[in-house]
Amino acid sequence: MPTTFRLNGQTATLDADPSMPLLWALREVAGLHGTKFGCGMAMCGACTVHLDGQAVRSCVMPLSAVEGRDITTIEGLHSKQAKAVQAAWVELQVPQCGYCQSGQVMSATALLEKNAAPTDADIDSAMSGNICRCATYQRIRAAIHSAAQSLKV
């Protein structure tokens, strides 16, 4: 049964099992590989995408749940907050193995889109669901602050 939704700003119709998690529909049906598989139970955040602007875990969200809604993946990020986040990520050399970073960037972008000047506590609340086994957390925190700063100017 096909599911139709907005994917990175364009209408997409994916013909797949409606109970298939969005993650696998994005990766294997839409061919978008930036969103990663880490745990399959919303525990690690590697699969984070935006659903109507909110950061959600695509690995537990059935494809059927996004019918008619708006999904943005790492490939479709374009807001000024997203650009600031990605620039700060490179500037502060955040990634190590890099596998979780798509999810980290998605969560950080969603945070900045709602909260222009997050505190450390806000960052903890928004980012603690994204595990990084390389523990790049200190740089993620700094990069979010740096991105917020760059958006003020």
Partner 1 sequence: MKKHPVLWAFATIIALSIIIVVYIVLGPSALGFAGGKTVALAAYHGEDPTGAAPELKAASLVERGEYLARAADCAVCHTAPDGTAFAGGRAFVLPFGTLYSTNITPDAETGIGNYSDANFLDAVHKGIGRDNTKLYPAMPYPSYTYMSDTDALAIKAYLFTLRPVHAPAPKNSLAFPFNQRSLMRVWSALFNSDRRFEPNLDRSPEWNRGAYLVEAMGHCGECHTPRNLFFALNNREKFGGAVQAGWRAYNITADRASGVGAWSDADLANYLSAGHAEGRGSASGPMGEAVDESLKYLKASDISAMVTYLRSVPALTTSDLPEPKLTPAVTAQVTAPEANPHGKAVYEGACAGCHGWSGVSPVIPFATLIGTRSVNDPTATNVAQVIIGGGHRHSPVDANNMPAFGAAYSDDEIAAVANFVTARYGVKGSDLTAARVAALRAEN
Partner 2 sequence: MTHKPVRSSLPTRRDFLKTAGTASVVALTIGFEWAATGRRAVAAVTPPGATFTPNAFLRIGSDNRVTVIAKHLEMGQGTYTGIATIVAEELDADWTTVSVESAPADAKRYANLVFGTLQGTGGSSAMANSWAQLRDAGAKARAMLLSAAAKDWHVPVAELTTDKGMVYHAAGKRQATYGSLVKTALSLPVPDNVVLKDPKNFKLIGARPPRVDAAAKTDGSAQFTLDFVLPGMLVALLKRPPLFGATVKSFDATAAAAVPGVVKVVQVPGGIAVVAKGFWAAKLGRDALKIEWDDSKAEKRSSSALMAEYRRLADQPALSARKVGDAHKAIGDATRRVSASYEFPYLAHAPMEPLDAVVKLDASSCEIWAGDQFQTIDQANAAHTAGLDPKQVSIHTLYAGGSFGRRANTISDYIVEAVSIAKAFGADGTPIKLQWTREDDIHGGLYRPMYFHKLEAGLNAQGELTGWHHVIVGQSIIADTIFAAGIKDGIDSTSVEGAANIAYAIPNIAVDLSTTKTGVPVLWWRVVGSSHTTFAVEAFIDEAAHVAGVDGFTFRRKLLEHEPRMKAVLELAAEKAGWNAGPLPPGRGRGIAVAEAFKTFVAQVAEVTVDRDGNVKVDRVVCAVDCGTPINPDIITAQMEGGIGFGLGAVMHSAITLKDGRVEQGNFNNYRVLRMNEMPKIEVHIVPSTAPPTGVGEPGVAPIGPAVANAIFAATGKRVHALPFGKVGVA
Verify binding: residue 70, partner 1, rule CB under 8 A. Answer: no
- Determine the interface stretch with partner 2 among 50-58, 64-72, 84-92, 109-117 (rule: CB under 8 A): 84-92
Among 97, 124, 135, 149, binds partner 1 (CB under 8 A): 124
Strands of 48-51's sheet, edge to edge? 10-15, 2-7, 70-72, 48-51, 54-57
Verify binding: residue 58, partner 2, rule CB under 8 A. Answer: no
78: three-class secondary structure by DSSP: coil
99: three-class secondary structure by DSSP: coil
Among 31, 121, 152, 153, binds partner 1 (CB under 8 A): 121
Among 109, 141, 146, 147, binds partner 2 (CB under 8 A): 141
Report the Cα 24 to chain-centroid distance in Å.
15
Q: Is the dihedral of CA 17, 22, 23, 29 positive or negative?
A: positive
Query: Which partner in partner 1, partner 2, none is near 67 (CB below 5 to 8 A by kind)?
Result: none
- Determine the interface stretch with partner 1 among 78-86, 94-102, 126-134, 142-150 (rule: CB under 8 A): 126-134
55: three-class secondary structure by DSSP: strand
CA-to-CA distance for 26 and 128, rounded, in angstroms? 24
List residues binding partner 2 (CB under 8 A).
14-17, 20-21, 24, 27-29, 31, 33-41, 43-44, 46, 73-75, 86, 89-90, 93-102, 105, 123-124, 127-141
